[in-house]
Structure 1
Amino acid sequence: MDVFSKRIDKVINQEIKHTKDEGMSTEAMTRDNAIIRVYDGGKYIQLAFYMDDPDRELTPYYYYEKFGDSYEEMSGMPGSGEGDRLGFYKKAPDYEEVKGKETKLKE
């Protein structure tokens, strides 16, 4: 498993809890059904989940920032994954996975 695996699982579980607290379905919110990008050595994690909806392929992107041993969801970040204030959309991620398969690991 990748070096970021535990951190990614932690963030996914936080997003599932948040979504459940909002009263929404979490059925599709699995690592095998997500696009995940890790930036700045694990300080930031961006993720979105694939949807079974012909009008919309992905949920909005969620962004998390590491503080100490925990991650907090970042506010004011674009759900489209483009034009974020930290410039992630212009950077290559340290790690990326799509539907549970590693697609990018920065060397």
Structure 2
Amino acid sequence: MRNVFIFLSLMMMFVLAGCGGNKYDDAINNIIDQYQDKTEKAYEDDQIKRDNALVMVYDGGKYIQIAFYNKNSERDYYPYVYYEKLGDKYEEMNNMPPDGTGDRLGLDEKTPDYEEVKGKETKLDN
């Protein structure tokens, strides 16, 4: 009976560990929702989704940079949009470069804390 309890406890730990995403999931989903609301059909619906985005998170989640791939090309994407965490929510930042280089915060010179391409986490060397 004791072995069954230990086995079930271990299985539960593995199941719970496998269900977790990353700590930025809610923030990224929130930003994509904001972007969809802002663009209101300016782009095709299938392009403004997480599995069609390039996402980079900096400074422990304080800044998130996102761009959506252009459906007509694997390499081309729409301009980067930057969000800053203010309190409990993220707000879009103004006057940031659309190509992702030379921003006023120096994010383009930093290694992101988290990065994903088309919904899949990329492994970063920190």
Please indicate, yes or no, whether the TM-score normalized by the shorter chain is above 0.5. yes
Aligned counterpart in structure 1 of residue 39 of structure 2, from 7, 16, 19: 19
1:42 and 1:86 map into 2 onto residues whose CA distance is 14
> Does the alignment pair 1:74 with 2:93?
yes
State the SS of the aligned residue for 1:3.
coil
Higher helix share: 2
Larger Rg: 2
Structure 1 residue 26, shift from structure 2 partner: 4.5
Which AA in structure 1 matches 2:116? E
Contact kept? 1:95, 1:105, Cα under 8 Å? yes
| Percentage of identical aligned residues | 53
Higher strand share: 1
Larger RCO of the pair (alpha carbons < 8 Å, separation 6+): 1
Which AA in structure 1 matches 2:55? I
> Does the alignment pair 1:30 with 2:71?
no
The size of the alignment, in residue pairs, is 104
1:38-89 deviation line (CA, Å, top 9, x unaligned): 00110100000000235x7100000000011111100000000011000010
TM-score, normalised relative to structure 1 = 0.90
Which AA in structure 1 matches 2:78? T
Which AA in structure 2 matches 1:64? Y
In structure 2, the partner of 1:97 is 116
> Runs of 5+ in structure 1 lacking a partner?
none
The alignment's C-alpha RMSD in Å is 1.6
